[in-house]
Structures are given as C-alpha cells and as structure tokens.
Amino acid sequence: MARSVYVTGIDRGDGRQVVDLGVMELLTRQVDRVGVFRPLVHDGPDRLFELLRARYRLSQSPETVYGMDYHEASAIQAEKGTDELVSRLVERFHRVARDYEVVLVLGSDYAATQLPDELALNARFANEFGASVIAVVGGQGQDAESVRSETRNAYRAYSGLGCDVLAVIVNRVASEVREELAEHLAATLPVPCSVLPDDPALSAPTVAQITSALGGTVLLGDDSGLARDALDFVFGGAMLPNLLKALTPGCLVVTPGDRADLVVGSLAAHSAGTPPIAGVLLTLDERPGEEILRLAARLAPGTPVVAVAGGSFPTAGELFALEGKLNAATPRKAETALGLFERHVDTGALLERISVARSGRVTPMMFEHELLEQARADRRRVVLPEGTEERVLRAADVLLRRDVCDLTLLGDVDVIRKKAADLGVDLAGTQLIDPRTSELRQGFAEQYALLRAHRGVTAELAYDIVSDVNYFGTLMVQEGFADGMVSGSVHSTAATIRPAFEIIKTKPGASIVSSVFFMCLADRVLVYGDCAVNPDPDAEQLADIAVQSAVTAARFGVEPRIAMLSYSTGSSGTGADVDKVRQATERVRVSRPDLRIEGPIQYDAAVEPSVAATKLPMSEVAGKATVLVFPDLNTGNNTYKAVQRSAGAVAVGPVLQGLRKPVNDLSRGALVQDIVNTVAITAIQAQDEK
C-alpha cells in the first residue's frame, strides 16, 4: 500500500496551503507518482488542487481526489453515524492509494463545515487511512505564549487520539518572536517542530484578485502587472506632493478616477522606481480621458490601472477584507511559499521521518527539485550579466523567492530597476552593478591588460573591453566577487564563453573546455556531451570529453555508464570516424579504468536493452548507458534537439566543464525555468570549486 501523509490543522486561518505545497514539493522530489486525496471538500473549484495539478503536472482525475462534499458528510454523520462516514471515505481513499507510490491527504479546513469535533474526525481519518500526521498551527495575531500553548495542545490532541505525528509546523508567526519560539518548541516537543514567519506577500491579494473581487474593469496593464501583490493601500485625496510622500513599495494607489494628476504622478514615481507600485485603482466609476491613459501607458507599460464603480470608502472596506490566495494563477505566491517552507523547515529531517523510498525513476521534475535543493544547501553568488533581460529578471524572481543563491545583476541600474518594477519583481537583497560606472572597472582593466599583454592589449583598450557585461562578469568570478556566471539568453555562445577562455582558462588536467546537456526524459536523466562547444574533437579530446562528462554526471546524481557513440557497434565497422571513437574509448579505459565505458556503439544499442542483447550481450554499459558522448558537434547538437522536440525531453544546459571556475551558457531561446536550472547548476559547480 502507498505511504500517506495527512496534513491537518486545529482551526481555520493557519495558512496551511504553504505546508501542503511544501510537503508536495518534498514528495515529488523523491517519487514519480504522488496522489492527492481530500476527504472533504466545499462546493465549487478547489484552488489548492488546481495549483498542485498545474505545478506538479498531475495526471490524476479530480473525481478521484475528492471524497465527498461537507453537506453530504454532515448528512451521513447525522443520519448513519461517524463509522459509516469514515467507512465510505476509507474506501475512496484506497482507490487512490492503489495507484500511487505515496498519497498526500489534505485535511478539513474548519471553515463553516458543520461537523462536530472536527479535530477528532481528522485524527480518525488519518488513523483509518494509515497516514502519518503533520499538524499545522496558526500563529497570526497571537503572542508567543498563546502560540506555545496551542502548539503543545495540538501535538497532545493528535498523539492522544492515536496518530503517528511526524512533525508540528507553526505558521504565520510574528517575525520578531519566530526564533525564540522555534527554540522553545524544539526543546519541549518530542517531534520536530518548525516555525514559519508571517509573510505579507502571501496574504496580500494580487491586483487580478482585487479586480475580480470588486468587479473592476482593467483600463491598462498586462498579465504580469495584474499578478503583482498589493502589499499596502494608499488612498489619494491630497495634492500630488503629499501623495508621493505616502507611497510605499508594492502599494495599490486608490484614488477617484477624475484625479488625473494623482494617476500620472503615481505612475511616474513607479517608472522612476521610487517606489515601484502595484497599480492604480480608480473609484466612483470615473475614468481619465484617452490622452491621460495614453500618457499613463507610456510612463509605466504593463502597470495596471483598474476602474471600479464604488466610492473610496466602501471600496476601502472591501479591500481590507480581502486576503491573497494560493492558486494556479499566482505562481509567484507559490514560489514565495516554497521559499518560506524550505528556509524554515528542516526538509531533510522531515523527509527522513516520512521515510518514502526514493523512486528508481528520475523524472524531469525530480531532477529540477534536486538541483534547487543542492544549490540552497551551500549558498553561492552567481552573476547574471544580462540584468536588463526580461527572462533573466523573471528567473531572478524565482531564485530569490526560493532562496536558491545570491545574485548579482549587471547592466544600467536604472533600467534594471525600472524593468523589475514593470514586471513586479522584487530585487531586494540583489546586488546591481553597472560595469561602465563601477569602481571595480579600473582594477579589472589592469588585471585584464596583464593577462592579455601578450596579445597586445593595452590598459586603454582593456578599460573599454571590461565594460562589456560578459567580460566584467567573468572578471568578477575570476577575482572572487562572484562564484559563477550565467549568460547567453541574448548573447551568442562565443560572446559568453570567450572571456572565460581568456581569463579563467582550463583546469589542470583538462585539455579542452567541453559541455553537456542533461536530457530529462519521462523516466530517466541522460547526459549528452559535447553538443555545444567542440566541432570535431580528435581522439584525445573525445576521451577528455568522456571523462569530464562522467564526472559531471556523477556530481549531479547520474551514475556514469559511458557510451562512445558511432555509426558502428563493436568491431563491425571501419573508417577514420569510427577508428577515432575506438581510440578515444581505449584512452579512457587506460586513464580511468574505474569508469564503465563502451565504444564504438550505436545509439540504439546504448540505450535500448533489447537491441543491446543482440549486438553486445556481455556489455555492462550497452542498453543502460547514461552518458552518451557524440563523435562531433554536428551529430550531438542535432541529436539533442531532435530528442528534445520529438520526445518532449527537458534539456538542461549546455553546462560547461573543464574551466577553473564555473561559467555557463544559455540558449538564446532559453525559458525562465531553463535559466533557473542553469543558475542552480552553476551554484553547485561553485560549491565544488570552493
């Protein structure tokens, strides 16, 4: 039977969705097939399951997720008793458990459920499902002593009812008492207890949620602007200078629609980044003229301007009653929630207590989860030279919310801030540097001139060269101001890696710099090398690529079994191309006898056991190769792209190997998640260099 984890609380308002999301992240990191079961559900769409389904690509049918609605449960309990209610839900739970390796059970929400002794009912469900319990306690608006008492009582209640309590998580606690509370509870409870601070960004509604709740009309703004969190409300009635003094980062400006001066002034302040606002809400069903709206659109592209019918006073009442919700339409909130969970919960210890055996399959999502976890475990600083590029800023947003690494963005600082404000990206804590005006420029120029003096580079020429963001970023890595660099979303591969060849150079023992792609297929991760750097490596270089690729594979959890690819398998073929592969294979066998390697071998014999059984039946690599080394760039690049597009594989890379310090290149078509993954890989490589 599947292992199951039951996340439950003791009252409403505990922000338990953060814990649900965090536990789901942990489980999907370990196993391929995670099921979800919610015993009791309200009428209408279930926003949490929709979030889980979208984020974790769940194929589970919603019909199997839900036990029954609260009205039906209340009627059954009243007419036929609790045993009958529990019996029906146990049957429905087992229908899910049969099909999944582990099941996440979402407890009841204590919101107008009309069920007596709801805590005891959750405990009964957990016991009958054979599920271990994670109990969640809400601490918002309470002092430390009240939270301590509630937490101890929650543990006693569930353990006293026979539950296997894995952990207790206290959520939404005031930041100033979080650390003291965590220490006290860790010393007094017999199970792990984590304390999460209240994060205003999670409870803040987005502009889109406000628009929907108030029946507003969007006059200006794009999806990115509507996704911004409204962290504060500033009501405009005074003259513009006084309003500007009242603006706060992330605030929603609420003003009558006929105050064009306040609309334009607020958006101008946002455009200047002093401060960036969430948007403007116009009341009284008044709307500025077309010329004002055109000016507003030019001042702050993408920033929402929304009109509502009500006056400022009733609108204020509705606004203060709204609370942000995690759902599939708020991916930034999900990243914030996961970052909060991963910062304050000992996820390794919790996973050990859950004791879910790791799946033999490695899915793309599992591989991506593992990258972020490894990067977070030993933080490094990564410099991103393309700081004004939208995809890079969106990736930075994810990396910062997930607390993956420290970041430095290069470019015109005012442009970076303005673009970040337009995208609703909070760069707090991020280092922003303009290479043209940085105090580091002169020192970098002197260093570069020394390195390239043999090429005739003068100090004056070096001063110009190092203002280039890729050269400046590479020098930051070389001189220890950053631990790694990622570029290439708008620069060519040559522009990204040439500075690294000139400045950082190759590791001792590495004859060349090469690259690999991590090809994340549906059930495994393969490593392809070299698909991005070396056009036609000779036998010695091909052997070096194979060894480097095996080392990289092992570092990222892929057991290396190397296939040296060719159009021929074994001794069946002859010719210069296949002979090169044969010689490279022998070189690896001599230099690294500990590595398992086969070559020459065709692709199908390398990865398909049935073909391997015919062509190389005694090989310990054929049919189960994990590191595939291509004979030349033409073959490798075309193959990785064919597999990526035809098999729906996630291609992570190219990841450069052989440099003294990590610098990685992006495809110019890189998606935001590709950039996130590459930055995480770079941070992990930097851990090794340290």
Q: What average pLDDT does this structure show over 90-105?
A: 90
DSSP assignment string, 250-272: TEEEEEETT-HHHHHHHHHHHHH
pLDDT score of 581 more than 60: yes
Q: 665 by DSSP, 3-state: which?
A: strand
pLDDT score of 357 more than 70: no
- What is the rounded radius of gyration, in angstroms, for the C-alpha atoms of the chain? 29
pLDDT score of 183 more than 70: yes
Residue 55: what pLDDT?
87
Specify which residues 168 forms β-bridges with: 135, 193
The DSSP code for 455 is G
Q: 274 pLDDT band (50/70/90 cuts)?
A: confident
Query: Residue 94's CB: how many other CB atoms inside 10 A?
Result: 15
Q: Decide if 270 contacts 300 (C-beta within 8 A).
A: yes
Q: Decide if 569 contacts 615 (C-beta within 8 A).
A: yes
Q: 358 pLDDT band (50/70/90 cuts)?
A: low
Q: What average pLDDT does this structure show over 500-521?
A: 88
Residue 359: what pLDDT?
59
Tens of pLDDT, residue by residue over 423-472, are 878 888 899 999 999 999 999 999 999 888 888 888 889 899 999 999 99
Tens of pLDDT, residue by residue over 139-157, are 888 888 998 999 999 999 9
Tokens linked to 387: 């700081």
Q: What average pLDDT does this structure show over 478-499?
A: 91
pLDDT score of 2 more than 60: no
Tens of pLDDT, residue by residue over 622-645, are 999 999 999 999 999 999 989 888
Look up tokens 């029954």; give the residue: 68
Residue 20: what pLDDT?
93
Residue 113: what pLDDT?
64
Domains observed in the chain: 3-199 (3.40.50.300), 207-321 (3.40.1390.20), 380-503 (3.40.50.10950), 514-658 (3.40.50.10750)
The span from the CA of 424 to the CA of 201, in Å, is: 12
Residue % of the chain over a pLDDT of 90: 43
User: Quick one: which H or E segment has residue 417?
Assistant: helix 413-423
Rounded (5°) CA angle 403-405-411: 115
Residue % of the chain over a pLDDT of 70: 98
The span from the CA of 288 to the CA of 304, in Å, is: 14
Amino acid at 1: M
Q: 1 pLDDT band (50/70/90 cuts)?
A: very low
Tokens linked to 526: 């393969």
Which of 115-119, 203-207, 211-215 has the lowest average pLDDT? 115-119
The span from the CA of 603 to the CA of 601, in Å, is: 7
User: Quick one: which H or E segment has residue 218?
Assistant: strand 217-220
Q: 671 by DSSP, 3-state: which?
A: coil
Q: Decide if 282 contacts 306 (C-beta within 8 A).
A: yes
Of 222 and 383, the structure prediction assigns the larger pLDDT to 383
Residue 399: what pLDDT?
93
The span from the CA of 76 to the CA of 96, in Å, is: 22
Of 576 and 172, the structure prediction assigns the larger pLDDT to 172
The span from the CA of 265 to the CA of 245, in Å, is: 11
Q: Is the bond preceding residue 654 a cis peptide, omega within 30 degrees? A: yes
Termini Cα distance of the chain:
44
> Distance from CA of residue 533 to its chain's centroid?
28
pLDDT score of 391 more than 90: yes
